[in-house]
Structures are given as structure tokens and as C-alpha cells.
Chain A
């Protein structure tokens, strides 16, 4: 449930579901998201669910913080809307040219490269949310020993297809963008397709994802 609603600037509501990150809380966030989306509240521009927060931005010409807060405070959550789980296996090449931050991680985590990869590739991940850039899935949870912070200064350009790690999460850069995650490899698979307006994202919240290590040769010859 929402623990607190505050304002983020003058044109957004910041709904806080607490500090914890787990599937149960995230499922609550998604339920609120779906309910609010279906209500089509006049003036609401965007609703962004994340692990344990929901941000609702609005058009200040049409509604303001206090009015919208009242609506959200009194909203009734739609029951029984279950989230579908699809499964995906994502190919990843970890050659030197792709694993930009593996040395940094070795140092920060005090682990050998091979141990990092071993732990990463045996995990099944849950998609908590998508965003930052179009279609980027936020996948959890990494084992405790693989958790590192973001880069101190984010990169101006992270290559398309990069697999990044930070804290308890992994993600996939769906196209070249700035970013601060620790990059450990690259996938040749296209994760976002803007020509499919109805469903541009390959991976959606609730889906299950595993990664499979491939050689450079496989990477270069990869066809979807």
C-alpha cells in the first residue's frame, strides 16, 4: 500500500510504498499503476511504476497536486488483476570489448572475473519495471556478492545491447545512451522495437529472464 504521497516538483505526485524492494511490494505498485491508468484521470500525463515507488506526472494547466492527491488517496484498487509471466533467455557475449567494467567490478567486489560471470549466468531474474530508456528492463535480484554501486560519473555513451549491473539489479541498454551501470557484456538481441506501437518491449514487468553466455563468433553471426 502507499505509505506516503508527496510532491515531486510542482507537476508530479511521488507515491512511496516504503524502503523495501521485493516482488510483493512491486506487485502492489503495478496494481496501482494499472488501476490509475484505467481511470483515465483528466490531466494525468504519465504514470511511472518502479520497484517501490509510483510517480504520477500531470499537466499543471488541468489539475494540481492537492486535487490529484485527493483522487489517489481515495482510489480503490482493482482486484484479481494478475501479472503474466513470460520467460526469456538472452544471449550475452562477454569479450573484452563488451565487458567495459568487469575490471572495476573485480576490484569493487573483490572477486575474480570468472566467479562474477558464474554467479550471474546461473541466476533467473524477475522484471520489476521497464524504463530509463525505451524498453530497458530492470531485472532482479543479483546475489549479495555481486552488488556494486553505479559509476561515480555516468558514461556519456553506453553501447546498445550492453548488460549492466548495479546494486541488486541487472539491465539491458536497448540502444546507445548515457548511463552509469557496470557493463559486463553485450547482447545481439533487439529488446525494443518502436515499429510495434502496441507492444514495443520484448520484456515486461513480471517476466522471467535468464542469460546465456555466447562466443564472439556466435555474437557476430547472431540472427533473430
Chain B
């Protein structure tokens, strides 16, 4: 019997447990998964004094409304999120990137993410979860990971196995910035597309479609015209690959993506831009900007340095 737990009053739209994801399983068709926005995931854990790879709750758009039962605990929320903490008759407006103490019967209402998709809730302690292939990450399509591979639902409990009695108040001054240009390396099938379409790809705006989730982001815009073959032999994929099916609308592979695909690859989003890419809401307009491999590697170094720098400020 767990004495520390959250009661779920409202589950939110897509609230799942996530960590750093799982490796070495693409060959049997199991994707990486893990927190979509890696930087915000790491910051949430640091703000609550956890190990960098501990499980957190990821939510999309609308987060969960939780009631806490148990001993004093610290929580932190990262992303661009509106939330409230209810302590008896007292209603506190929450702020991202700082820790808050929850006590018995307090409520945490994660109202929404603002002009972004994902946010993260970490606790100063360890959720009681089942791991699969050494990760808790929930892949709801494959029904893999903790909570039987399902998103959180109302009337269930979130049990806490252990609380680390570390009630230091932690805070970070950080504001998420929105991305305007997504940097892309040309894909292995770049030459499958007409000269005109290659230009359009790097010049025109594309709109993020409603049909976007943890698996992929579908885009709409001027059709990308294929002049060689609209199919390729199915082959491996990685996150960030931009495939163009016969209808000419690009699809970007995200963390729960299929491990194999048969549509031509026009490009791959650079690793440095991935966290910001996944935060684009349906209706957002984006442009692609071409970079080469060595620039992409430098961009990643800068991204990683910035992340480490933020972590060390906490």
C-alpha cells in the first residue's frame, strides 16, 4: 500500500510517463520514445533534485488536475505552462522553472500549455512504475511502457514509491523561444523531387496539420512534386526524417515514429532543433533552412552547451 499518491481528477489530453527512452530496439520495430522535448525534461528533473534520467509526467495541451495525498513533496513544471496550486482556500498561480511544495490534500491543476504542445511535471521522488526494456516511456500506440502502455486516465492513482527529502527551493530564469526556421540536412532521396519543388521546400512556408502527435508531424503547403518514384524500398528511419508521400505533403518523424518507412526522404531535421520542432502547435507556420553536416554538428554542440549551462544554473 502506497501512502503517497496523486489522485487524478482530470487526466488531460495526453499525459504519459516518459524518461530518456529506449535504445537498441529499432530492429524489432520498437521506437526510441522518451520525452519529446529533451531539454525541458532534463530541467524538470534537475529542479526537483532528481537523477537526470528519472521518470516524469509529460502532458500535451491540457495537463492533468491532480490531488495529492501523502507526505510533503516538491514538484516542478517546465515548458510554457499555466497551472494553479490549491492549498485549502488558497489558490496560487504556478510558475514554470521553479519548485513548489505540495502537502497532503493540495491540488495541482495543470490548465494548459501556451502556444506550445508539451510540458513536464517532475516530483522530488520516484513514481512507482513498471519499466519495459529499462525505460518507463509510454508508447500508447504499441502499448509499451509504464501504466500498461496507456495514457493516464481519470479515477486512477499515481503511486509514489519514494520521496527524497530534499526541499531546497530551486529556480531557473528561462523562457522558451519559438522556432521560425527549422534547419534541415538534405535527405537521401532529395533528388527524387523536381527542381521547382526543391526550391519550394526551402523557400515556402508549411503549416503544421492537426494530424500531428508523438509519432509524426504532418505538414501542409505547396505540393512537393516527385519526379522519380513516390515509393522507395522500405528502410530504417530516425526521428527528424522528413518523408514525402505521393500526395506531396511532408511528414516529420517524431519520437514514437515507425522504425521503417517507404516514402522518399527529402530531408532530416538537425538534432539541435528537435526540442523546438516538437513544440510547434497545429496551425503554426514553419520554413526549412538548409545546413550541411558540419554546421549541424556545431549547432548541436551549441545546443548541448546551452542545455548543460541551464542545468548548472539550477
Q: Are B296 and A134 in contact (CB under 8 A)?
A: no
Chain B neighbourhood of A176, CB < 8 A: 141
- Flag if B270 contacts A9 (CB, 8 Å): yes
B140 to chain A, nearest CB (A): 10
* Contact status B27-A46, CB under 8 Å: yes
Q: How many A-B residue pairs have CB under 8 A?
A: 172
A161 at the interface (CB under 8 A from B): no
A94 in contact (CB, < 8 A): no
Assess whether A53 is in contact with B29, with CB atoms less than 8 Å apart: no
CA A194 to CA B265, docked complex, whole Å? 30
Interface centre among B188, B238, B245 (most CB of A within 10 A): B238
Q: How far is the CA of A48 from the CA of B31 in the complex (A)?
A: 11
Interface size band for A:
35 or more
Least CB distance, B210 to chain A, in whole angstroms: 11
Interface of B is mostly: loop
Chain B: CB-nearest residue to A201: B28
Q: Which of B26, B247, B297 contacts A131 (CB 8 A)?
A: B26
A177-204 contacts to B (CB < 8 Å): 177-178, 180, 192, 194, 197, 200-201
Question: Contacts A46-B26, A131-B29 known; A8 to B262 CB distance under 8 Å?
Answer: no
Which of A11, A12, A133, A136 is the one whose CB lies under 8 Å from B141? A133
Binary interface encoding of chain A residues 128-160 relative to chain B, with 1 for a CB under 8 A from any of its CBs, else 0: 011111111010000000000110111010000
Give Cα distance in the complex from A136 to B260, angstroms: 10
**A125 on the interface (CB 8 Å rule)?**
no
Mark B130-152 against chain A: 1 for CB-CB distance below 8 A, else 0. Answer: 00110000000111100001000
A-side interface residues toward B, CB under 8 Å? Answer: 6-12, 14, 21, 33, 37, 45-55, 57, 60-61, 64-65, 129-136, 138, 149-150, 152-154, 156, 166-167, 169, 174-178, 180, 192, 194, 197, 200-201
List 27 A-B residue pairs with CB atoms under 8 Å apart, sorted by A's residue number.
A6-B188, A9-B185, A10-B270, A10-B271, A12-B238, A33-B27, A47-B24, A47-B26, A48-B235, A49-B27, A51-B234, A51-B235, A52-B235, A53-B235, A55-B26, A55-B238, A60-B300, A129-B260, A131-B29, A131-B236, A133-B258, A135-B28, A150-B231, A176-B141, A180-B245, A194-B143, A201-B28
Interface positions of B (Cβ within 8 A of A): 23-30, 32, 132-133, 141-144, 149, 185, 187-188, 211, 215-216, 230-231, 233-238, 240-241, 245-247, 249, 258-263, 265, 268-271, 293, 296-297, 300, 304
Extra A-B contacts (14), CB below 8 Å, given A8-B188, A48-B259, A50-B260 = A10-B185, A11-B238, A46-B24, A46-B27, A48-B235, A48-B260, A60-B304, A130-B27, A131-B26, A133-B29, A133-B141, A133-B259, A134-B142, A136-B260
